[in-house]
Structure 1
Amino acid sequence: MGLTVKDIIQLPIMETAKVKAGRAVLNEKEVDWISVIETPVENFVRSNEFVLSTGIGCENDPLLLEEFTKDVIQSGASVLAFATGRYIYDIPDRILQLGEQNDLIIIDLPWEVRFGDILQVVLEEISQEKKAERQQAEEIRQELITFVLNGKGLQEISNLLYQKTNIPIAISDHNKRIRANHDVDPHLLDVFNGKVDGQVQQIPQTDIQFSEHPLYHHIEEFVIDQQTCYQLPILSNQKKQGYLIFKPDDRHQLTWLVMNILEHALTACALYFLQENAIEMTEIRLKDNFLLDLAKNENDITKQTLSKGQLLGYDLTKSYICMVGEISFIETNKQLKKTDRSAGSSLHSRNYYIQKEITQAGELLNRSTMATFEDGEVIVYLEADHHPYMEASNQFLDMVERRLNDLLAGIEISWGIAIHKDGHYSFHKSYQEAKTALDIGKQQYGKGERTFFSDTRINRLLMALSHDPDISSIVKDTLEKLIEYDKKRQTDLIHTFIVYNKYNSNVSQTARALNLHRQSLLHRLRNIEHLTQLSLVDSDDLFLLELSVRLWMLKKLE
């Protein structure tokens, strides 16, 4: 409690003063300032002010004096003290009734008591009180910062705030997830954050009547199911880290001292979130580096490796399916549909939501997951069990991609999937196999497909054949003119043949797939025959051309 009217009444300078109205609230009304005001009041009087007046200009007009008193009441002042004996001899009963009805303390001061002396004494008392408040606020600030530096959490901060202000306090992160709560109704918070249905009305800033504390310009007032609560953003580098939610019994609890304490609490919470974010980012980097090293380098899995994995939350003793995904976008618009749309955050947000869905899908399937990202590539290790690895992988990726399609606009992921025959501790080998499956799948099927390493045996066989010099020579002789023609004319006859072969030489189906007129397709096919000197209706020629094309395409992967 700050300086009260009762404290001022007990000063020697006020010995001859008489309280004429509002005696019941002497110990409740605080005084933040003192001033001398005559009619008109306008906006010169603030809340909790001690108003001195001679009543000049109102001495012969009771109605004008009544209007003057009403204006002082409207301003939220604590005291109206009239100097009687010159312009006003007796304070009218009507004025005293107004004071009693509106909890305005009305004081009768003898004319001989100089306003200057009262101002000097009261201002000294206010100064001392403010000094004590500043000292108290500074001690609380030091205590809050010490809390954070000593590793205490948000709940300890909210407990201390309640202890110092007697106001229920809750703290949320930037996603409005409640991280700490002291005495705020959980149902009210659930309604406020949209978890359950309820009526939430935000009061416009212009309608919020508070004092001149700088923090009041950032305060937001809400009426939730007929209960009033307030919110302040926790900011760091102009970025919202979270929110401080508080529910005083009434606005009068939000004194200058309380607002100073809340301001220091915002600083402490911002420091806590920054510290938490730094720890989280460090952990993410450690996990990323660990998994990338595990996948891309052929290292022995030692006890030290197992222990490091365990510290990061990974159990490397399990058998894992490796999935390598290449992320691309169908559309140029890379904004998130239902999430953060700020420029420059696309990559971070994309990886965050993919990681989130990978973790959630693993939890729903009761399987461990490990995931990391590098240069548009996502590497996932999914715990394997007795179920076929294809079935487990498809079930897992179906869950991940179903959610991602709702969260990210136009995202497309091509997957290569493998589980090495050696089973345990085969992270590097299974990554290589999954990467090989991914590359083969992109060449053979295009983007957005899933390719299992076990389905690429024919392609891997062809890869082995492609290194034979004689076979390479045959491929070159067969396709050289076709490749040169495509390059020179900017055509794609090789792709035309691939689609033609895919549809078992069916001209109509091939034309539809390539979006070509039938005659245009036939012209292309004649060009292929002319350039290769092979007949597309001869089975041996067709086999030689298909084999050559597949070997040439696989050679491009290397």
Structure 2
Amino acid sequence: MGLTANDIIQLPVLETSAVKTGKGLLDGKQVEWVSVIEGPVENFVRKNEFVLSTGMGCEEHPEKLEQFVLDIIKSGASLLGIATGRYVFNIPDRIISLAAQHQFIIVEMPWEVRFGDVLQSVLQEINKEKQEQRNQAEEVRKQLISSVLHDKGLTDITDVVYQHIQMPVAVQNEAGDIRCHSCFEEAEAALFESSASNQNSHFPASIGIVDDHPLYHHMEPGFLQKRPCYRLPIQNNHKIQGYLLFQPEIGQPLTWFMMNVLEHALTAFALHFAKENAVEMAEIRLKDTYVLDLVKSNQPTGTQTAKAGLLGYDLSLPYTCLVGKISYKNQVDFRNDNPANSSLQSLNFNLQKEITNAGAVLNRRTMATFEDGEVIIFLEDSEKLYYKAANQFLDIVERRLYAFLPILEISWGAGKHEGGIDCFKESYQEAKTALEIGRKQHGAGGRTFFEDTRINRLLMNFASDEAIVQIVSQTVSPLIAYDKKRKTDLIRTFLAYNQHKGNVSQTARSLNLHRQSLLHRLRTIESLTQLSLVDPDDLFLLELSVRLWMMQKIE
């Protein structure tokens, strides 16, 4: 409760004073400050103050004294001391009746009692009480920090906070999930709704909250099941790690001590999250190094196999290898980024978390690492669901990751082997081959499976033959030169025409061209290449040449 009106009345300096009204209220009235005022009250008196007055200016106007007392009552002051003997000889009955009606404490003080002595005595008690609260809060701070340093869990820290503030508390992570709580229903605590987002709900006026405490301006009012609640952000390196929820009873005051405990609790939770992140980052680095070593080795050694078990990996399972190339949709300059907050600095960490999350959703084991803008993933596989499982997995990863970094774009290649423990390097090489072929053929952002690249791999095997190089160059170069000069796209036109098996109407619709415009382009292709689009041999030669050119193996 802190310093009460009864504590004030018991001071030696007030032993000759008399309580005229509100004797039964003395133990329940808190006193936080003392002041002297005469004349208009206006906003010069704050809540829980002990106000001293001589009644000067009201000696011949009882109604002024009555209005003065009424204004003091409305200000929220705890009690009023009136010095009698000069301006007010006796406190009028109407004033006593008014104070009794409003359950307010009035103390009659002899004129001989100096206000300076009263101020000194009361301020000493207030300072003593404040110092006791500071000492108590410091002990709580030590207790909370000790809990973190001795690797106590979030629940232990939350219990310490509850023990000292005696109100339900809970900790949310950044996503809003409840990590721990004391005297909260977990399902209920996860339903915090900010009062700013609910315009139809009226948040009650703050009662007994220390609004000059630094923490006050960070308190976010809200509701849990339509009951008022508060939320405070837990920050580390200017980044929100989670939230601290607490729910005082309606009318329950929040004292300086409680606010200090909450402030120290935020520090303890921030330290705990920082330790968690450090451990998680260390574990990720160990796994990164291990998986990278796995794809570089021809065959896992006995040491690698044993280490796999320590990291939670099972090398005996069949895996699909997924290799992703990270790129950006727009040119981005990260040179001035704060390293602690840079998107590039945190990309691998967030991507690893999304990979782990996607594996958990599909109930499949994963292993992942990163190297030079490339992400390598081994996804637990099954024979029947190879394509489906890989696509589902990548859908989950990309959906959450693109929400975090919308400028990001990842191209994927996939390779699958059933050879078990000896095939990690081979499946990685096949996935990387599929990735390179897919990027050259379709550009960035696509997915290519190794099994679907058989024709392209066949072409790659003889694309370096000098005779073939010359034939392809003679065939494709006129089309490239024409496209550059006329700003057309004859190669794309031919590919669409070939895809639709020579159907002019379907090709025109797919290219959004008029039929006559398409026919003009097809005649131009025949004229430039000296090949007929209705002759099977010519058509094969042109398709082969365009495919090899698109593979970017021949200039």
Q: So what's the TM-score if we normalise by structure 2?
A: 0.84
Structure-2 change in CA distance of 1:256 and 1:397 (3 Å): closer
- CA shift, 1:202, in A, is 6.0
Q: What is the CA–CA distance in structure 2 between the aligned matches of 1:103 and 1:179, rounded to whole Å?
A: 45
Letter of the structure 1 residue corresponding to residue 27 of structure 2: N
Structure-2 change in CA distance of 1:81 and 1:276 (3 Å): same
Letter of the structure 1 residue corresponding to residue 365 of structure 2: S
Structure-2 change in CA distance of 1:224 and 1:394 (3 Å): closer
What is the aligned partner in structure 2 of residue 265 from structure 1? 265
- CA shift, 1:367, in A, is 1.8
Aligned 8 A contact 2:315 2:420 in 1: no
Q: What is the CA–CA distance in structure 2 between the aligned matches of 1:367 and 1:212, rounded to whole Å?
A: 53
Structure-2 change in CA distance of 1:333 and 1:37 (3 Å): farther
Letter of the structure 2 residue corresponding to residue 506 of structure 1: N
Give secondary structure in 2 for the equivalent of 1:556: coil
What is the aligned partner in structure 1 of residue 170 from structure 2? 170
Give secondary structure in 2 for the equivalent of 1:87: coil
Q: Deviations over 1:270-315 (max 9, x none)?
A: 33333333333444444444444444x2453234334444444433
Aligned 8 A contact 2:300 2:421 in 1: no
Q: What is the CA–CA distance in structure 2 between the aligned matches of 1:237 and 1:484, rounded to whole Å?
A: 55
Structure-2 change in CA distance of 1:277 and 1:405 (3 Å): closer
Aligned 8 A contact 2:367 2:379 in 1: yes
Q: What is the CA–CA distance in structure 2 between the aligned matches of 1:78 and 1:224, rounded to whole Å?
A: 32
What is the aligned partner in structure 2 of residue 109 from structure 1? 109
> Aligned runs of 1:413-492 on 2, under 5 Å?
414-444=411-441, 449-486=446-483, 491-492=488-489
Q: What is the CA–CA distance in structure 2 between the aligned matches of 1:333 and 1:483, rounded to whole Å?
A: 27
Matched, 1:22 2:22: yes
What is the aligned partner in structure 2 of residue 138 from structure 1? 138
- CA shift, 1:82, in A, is 1.4
Give secondary structure in 1 for the equivalent of 2:534: coil
What is the aligned partner in structure 1 of residue 31 from structure 2? 31
Aligned 8 A contact 1:191 1:224 in 2: yes
Q: What is the CA–CA distance in structure 1 between the aligned matches of 2:252 and 2:390, rounded to whole Å?
A: 60
> Aligned runs of 1:279-290 on 2, under 5 Å?
279-290=279-290
Structure-2 change in CA distance of 1:370 and 1:252 (3 Å): same
Moved more, 123-132 or 364-373: 364-373
What is the aligned partner in structure 1 of residue 498 from structure 2? 501
Aligned 8 A contact 2:463 2:554 in 1: no
Aligned 8 A contact 1:328 1:411 in 2: yes
> Aligned runs of 1:73-88 on 2, under 5 Å?
73-88=73-88
Q: What is the CA–CA distance in structure 2 between the aligned matches of 1:70 and 1:506, rounded to whole Å?
A: 94
Aligned 8 A contact 2:491 2:546 in 1: yes
Q: What is the CA–CA distance in structure 1 between the aligned matches of 2:411 and 2:457, rounded to whole Å?
A: 19
Q: Deviations over 1:473-523 (max 9, x none)?
A: 443454455555555665543333333322223333333333334444444
What is the aligned partner in structure 1 of residue 300 from structure 2? 301
Moved more, 24-33 or 226-235: 226-235
Matched, 1:389 2:386: yes
Q: So what's the TM-score if we normalise by structure 1?
A: 0.84
Structure-2 change in CA distance of 1:460 and 1:44 (3 Å): same
- CA shift, 1:123, in A, is 1.8
Q: What is the CA–CA distance in structure 2 between the aligned matches of 1:426 and 1:372, rounded to whole Å?
A: 17
Matched, 1:510 2:510: no
> Aligned runs of 1:312-323 on 2, under 5 Å?
312-323=311-322
Q: What is the CA–CA distance in structure 2 between the aligned matches of 1:397 and 1:388, rounded to whole Å?
A: 14
Q: Deviations over 1:419-442 (max 9, x none)?
A: 025333422221221222233334
Structure-2 change in CA distance of 1:216 and 1:273 (3 Å): same
Gaps of 5+ in 2: 333-340
Letter of the structure 2 residue corresponding to residue 368 of structure 1: R
- CA shift, 1:16, in A, is 1.4
Give secondary structure in 2 for the equivalent of 1:249: coil
Identical amino acids, percent of aligned pairs = 57
Q: What is the CA–CA distance in structure 2 between the aligned matches of 1:201 and 1:121, rounded to whole Å?
A: 46
Structure-2 change in CA distance of 1:495 and 1:215 (3 Å): closer
What is the aligned partner in structure 2 of residue 59 from structure 1? 59
Q: Deviations over 1:169-209 (max 9, x none)?
A: 22223333222322235465244259xxx998364989996
Letter of the structure 1 residue corresponding to residue 416 of structure 2: I
> Aligned runs of 1:346-385 on 2, under 5 Å?
358-372=355-369, 377-385=374-382
- CA shift, 1:322, in A, is 1.6
Q: What is the CA–CA distance in structure 1 between the aligned matches of 2:224 and 2:175, rounded to whole Å?
A: 19
Q: What is the CA–CA distance in structure 1 between the aligned matches of 2:506 and 2:223, rounded to whole Å?
A: 65
Aligned 8 A contact 2:228 2:247 in 1: yes
What is the aligned partner in structure 2 of residue 341 from structure 1? none
Give secondary structure in 2 for the equivalent of 1:317: coil
- CA shift, 1:328, in A, is 6.7
Aligned 8 A contact 1:417 1:437 in 2: yes
Letter of the structure 1 residue corresponding to residue 436 of structure 2: D
Letter of the structure 1 residue corresponding to residue 463 of structure 2: S
Q: Give the aligned CA root-mean-square deviation in angstroms.
A: 3.8
Aligned 8 A contact 1:172 1:242 in 2: yes
What is the aligned partner in structure 2 of residue 127 from structure 1? 127
What is the aligned partner in structure 1 of residue 72 from structure 2? 72
Q: Deviations over 1:313-363 (max 9, x none)?
A: 43333210122345678x8799xxxxxxxxx97778987887666545433
Structure-2 change in CA distance of 1:356 and 1:100 (3 Å): farther
Letter of the structure 1 residue corresponding to residue 227 of structure 2: Q
Give secondary structure in 1 for the equivalent of 2:432: helix
Q: Deviations over 1:20-78 (max 9, x none)?
A: 22222322322222121223212222222111111222233333223222222222222
- CA shift, 1:259, in A, is 1.8
Letter of the structure 1 residue corresponding to residue 317 of structure 2: K
Q: What is the CA–CA distance in structure 1 between the aligned matches of 2:345 and 2:27, rounded to whole Å?
A: 56
Q: What is the CA–CA distance in structure 2 between the aligned matches of 1:465 and 1:370, rounded to whole Å?
A: 35
Matched, 1:91 2:88: no
Structure-2 change in CA distance of 1:132 and 1:485 (3 Å): same
Q: What is the CA–CA distance in structure 1 between the aligned matches of 2:124 and 2:399, rounded to whole Å?
A: 69
What is the aligned partner in structure 1 of residue 338 from structure 2? none
What is the aligned partner in structure 2 of residue 153 from structure 1? 153
Aligned partner (choices 548, 551, 554) of residue 554 of structure 1:
551
Moved more, 140-149 or 210-219: 210-219
Moved more, 158-167 or 393-402: 393-402
Aligned 8 A contact 2:207 2:251 in 1: no
Give secondary structure in 1 for the equivalent of 2:184: coil
Give secondary structure in 1 for the equivalent of 2:229: strand
Give secondary structure in 2 for the equivalent of 1:201: coil
Gaps of 5+ in 1: 335-343
> Aligned runs of 1:516-535 on 2, under 5 Å?
516-535=513-532
Moved more, 413-422 or 12-21: 413-422
